[in-house]
Structure 1
């Protein structure tokens, strides 16, 4: 069983509905996830994105950089219901804009500066088993996530975030 990071762009009105009706939010997330095949990189129309197993690597790298928004676990809770590996959380449009701005300023190469496979092993970064050839593995997921957040920020969207 894998743990994957998942993101759903929602309008501010949809966020309000999700907070009032978390069951609707889960149904909506499932519908969007099933309707969208995740391409190599998200398009501007994509409402769903997954960082696959790279979520913890991205978390580790962003924590080292002082990321001001928790884009891996979200900022605000809206239900106690478990969506896989704990309850989902959300990011207000302001958090999405701040995250997009920060992600845009941080290239993957810059995030990797000074990081060794041993650092990842010591920190028990999922999915474990790191070696020097795997450091670049997360680039695709990070670049896609950056694009996804930039698109959401431009649209004024909020974000639902969870691990499944």
Structure 2
């Protein structure tokens, strides 16, 4: 069975500002992606939103398909390793505090219970010749578009997807 590969990125202007997120998925040599922006966002929230949006865009992918999700997010990598502990501890972290962005983590955790997902850390300084650079450029674009016109979500156009470096 062909694996599904996903690249995600999220970005925010400051601690609570305009945010952008994007993901691109590659399956059977077909790439497609989505980008979006939100106001009053944080970088961790945008990173997790990208992951959640990617993991909910799986209606056409058979359930046993292995998924490799690439991200530069330290928050995601740390949290992905803690999902079982958090769930078992009532969504309280090791410090005894409520898990930050619990609403997103709970949804990600539910998907990882029924879908085989492997999280892979990628370089935080991507180049435009690599898949993570392409996705990073779209999350930056989404943040800037959100500044100009507010929250949105839309598919990355097919002519742009034809330039995705991993195809």
Q: Same fold (TM over 0.5)?
A: no
Greater RCO (Cα-Cα under 8 Å, separation 6 or more): 1
Q: TM-score range by the shorter chain?
A: under 0.3
| Structure number having the greater strand percentage | 2
| Structure number having the greater helix percentage | 1
Question: TM-score normalized by structure 2?
Answer: 0.26
